[in-house]
Amino acid sequence: MTLLDKDGVHLGVKDEVATVTLTNPARRNAQTPATWRALTEAGRLLPGSVRVVVLRAEGRSFSAGLDRQAFTVEGIEGELDFQELARRPDAELDAAIAGYQEAFTWWRRNDIVSVAAVQGHAIGAGFQLALACDLRVCAQDAQFAMRETSLGLVPDLTGTRPLVSLVGYARALEICATGRFVHADEAERIGLANIVVPGDELDAATADLTAALLAAPRGALIETKALLRGAVERTYEEQRAAERAAQARRLRELAGVGE
């Protein structure tokens, strides 16, 4: 069932699995504000029955990042160019960037597990979109790069926190500051990639992981994800308490005991 198909984004749902597909391979799935609005809408349209969301891309590259047209004098038709955006009052500028970020935030909701299937280039905004997901399955030709710093900008599409969480501060700084490529084998070694497979096995590996995720009882998976997401901010004692509370909820639900 198709729920969305516009601005280079397709959302389809089958049973408990939603698939979000980037559908602009001719431009290596370069992103624009319209892409981000469509991704945000995809998150809003997810039925409550969905448990796993797969993010994939058509063509040879996952996403080459922000459409380079944004850096030209002409800009992207129908969108604010960078020069005009920079001249807006602080509140408007902040609101504009916050709006862009919405496309990258919903993937970590506790009621779903999101899986990015990455092939070819995942650069800048493409890298951050892959980082927005909980898990990453990569083809052997996958290449990640954070080019924002090299352009005089910063990664502002919610990618900095998951990057540091996955690879640590020093490695994250080095990746961002140099803008170098992180190839699939290194990505797996440092924790960016959960699984690396030959390119022709990417879809099958993603499907296998999806099936494994669906095998776990939904309530247990939601509680576990919430525990793991909050573990970094909590103290040891706070995490112990959170585990006890979550387990109490699970035991009561399994036993059919009301609150």
Structure confidence at residue 85 (pLDDT): 85
Asked whether the CA dihedral 70, 71, 75, 81 is positive or negative, the reply is positive
User: Is the model's pTM score more than 0.75?
Assistant: yes
Provide mean pLDDT across the span 62-69: 91
DSSP track, 5-74: EETTEEEEEETTEEEEEE--GGGTT-B-HHHHHHHHHHHHH--TT--EEEEEESSS-SB--B-GGGGSSS
Q: What is the pLDDT of residues 74-101, one digit of tens each?
A: 778 878 777 888 899 999 999 999 999 9
What's the pLDDT band for 8 if we cut at 50, 70, 90? very high
What's the pLDDT band for 61 if we cut at 50, 70, 90? very high
Structure confidence at residue 156 (pLDDT): 97
Q: What is the pLDDT of residues 118-133, one digit of tens each?
A: 999 999 999 999 999 9
Question: How far is residue 28's CA from residue 61's CA, in Å, rounded to a whole number?
Answer: 5
Q: Is the pLDDT of residue 108 over 80?
A: yes
DSSP SS3 for 186: helix
Q: Which of 82, 86, 124, 90 is nearest to 104 (CA)?
A: 124
Q: Which amino acid is at 67?
A: D
Structure confidence at residue 259 (pLDDT): 59
Provide mean pLDDT across the span 134-147: 98
Q: Is the pLDDT of residue 73 over 80?
A: no
Question: How far is residue 186's CA from residue 106's CA, in Å, rounded to a whole number?
Answer: 27
Mean pLDDT of the chain: 95
Q: Which residues are the active-site residues?
A: 148
pLDDT > 70: what percent of the chain? 99
